[in-house]
Chain A
């Protein structure tokens, strides 16, 4: 059995074969952008998750205008095939994937195994050279707002039980033993999880080398966790990037039609006055 949308996931070999294809644009999104500077996939541009994909004043995703400017400055066109990859099992690359889809880019793909797999394969070239692409005039024509969950949708899901809620954080964060992993600057006032959420830590969706597990394994994983097929689903974590990874798994590998990423995640929900919290 194959993934629901197999084209959304490309192998490192596919990327190597398409390095010279002008319609394929490669974008690296890392936790720490120094990684890109040390070496990257030839022709890749880097987007900084913190400073380029987030609004710098309001806590929000980058605005439509700023996203258009960012893609125009990188010379990306709406017809391009975008391949995203990054470090830490593609967490931030998956967030980039979600954002491209949110802003309606048609052809977006994730490189299976991310940066570490590319690095580990001897036949995959790496360069420190940065290509200067001619600017484009990128225009967003449609926004897929249904890919994003905000607080009202989460509260509605709690009240009506009309959606699966998936918490992809560590078990200790889910049970409320800790608010956030040690040393994290973004945190919350309260520990625990959204009432009714199922705990499926993101790491359970990948193999040792960071590639995604088979469709059968993924299906079994969420079935065991109590995910009800056919129901709308909302994924969340702490700051919205690991949940993007799970959102990708659910929507593009398993084909969950109505699947949202709650990017506000626990750093929003765990700070809300009056929001119900479960601990267990």
Chain B
């Protein structure tokens, strides 16, 4: 039986991975629409949608890149499970969590082992999720002395495994591998184009590996070069897991400034208040990176007040993996005074 998208019956979890025929949902922003007053006054018809990437099978936008990375490794014969006469060769990857969770879940189904290298500041929930998904987890500490922006720790350690134990590990390297970008050229971009009937005028996302922004922008700009690509970044010294300030982008080779119309900076604490607002007023259980992107969209739209158009904001993952981060930044959520 092949996937039946009308009844949503699938032969395996892999068939649930998103694509143009099986897109992640777009949900209209209603109560918190940044131009609600203008719409009520009849001076704007701008529509804003959230693309709910947490509806992907392993819970985040990273399912897309991870599935392409694994597919590429399989096609090259670079990974295999343990066999009677041959030890398996698995995956090692530096990750703030979501790519690792997706990679580990997919690798586990295939019997391939996965080692995730995560920075200490990644929330505990994500570390546990990585282990639940079947990964071995190395948590790197820089507690003795911080080295902001040096990009060495997790990336260097994953490279070390791949170099010193190449018979056991290969590193897909989401920061350099074009498969990360291709996933969004092939899936996210076409999904948005189809879901909006080609009416999209504004695309909002964050910066991390930059696979999403580069891939989606490549596709959308080819369709309509006037579509505005807006990247939302947290303020320097931020504490929003999984995304980067532009000063931290030296670790990725997938950033292409020529595709981005604007990078807007948001005070990082807003990621948390904005996420909470989305949870409580839109019923969208958005995590902090989604909150940050929404806040960036709000700032741009309230500044520019477009009379018409259609915006799509990537909502990377939901809030469940960030309970500790949410309570750290919004202590009232823990019932504290």
Contacts and interface: CB of A to CB of B under 8 A. Distances in A.
The A interface, classified by DSSP as helix, strand, loop or mixed, is loop
Nearest to A184: B146
Contacts, number: 77
Given A119-B159, A126-B163, A32 B152 contact: no
Contact of B143 (A88, A91, A183, A238): A183
A126 B164 contact: yes
B138 interface: yes
Contacts of B152: 87-88, 115-116
A140 interface: no
A239 interface: yes
Nearest to A35: B157
Contacts of B158: 38
B144 A119 contact: no
B165 A39 contact: yes
Nearest to B158: A38
Nearest to A124: B163
Interface residues of A, number: 30
Contacts of A182: 146, 237
Contacts of A116: 152, 156
Interface in B146-171: 146-148, 150, 152-153, 156-161, 163-165
A38 B164 contact: yes
A42 to B, nearest CB: 9
A185 B144 CA distance: 8
Interface of B: 121, 138, 140-148, 150, 152-153, 156-161, 163-165, 237
30 contacts: A31-B141, A31-B142, A31-B144, A31-B145, A32-B142, A34-B138, A35-B160, A38-B157, A38-B158, A38-B160, A38-B164, A39-B160, A39-B161, A40-B160, A40-B164, A88-B147, A88-B150, A89-B147, A89-B150, A116-B152, A119-B159, A119-B160, A119-B163, A126-B164, A127-B164, A182-B146, A183-B121, A238-B145, A239-B145, A241-B144
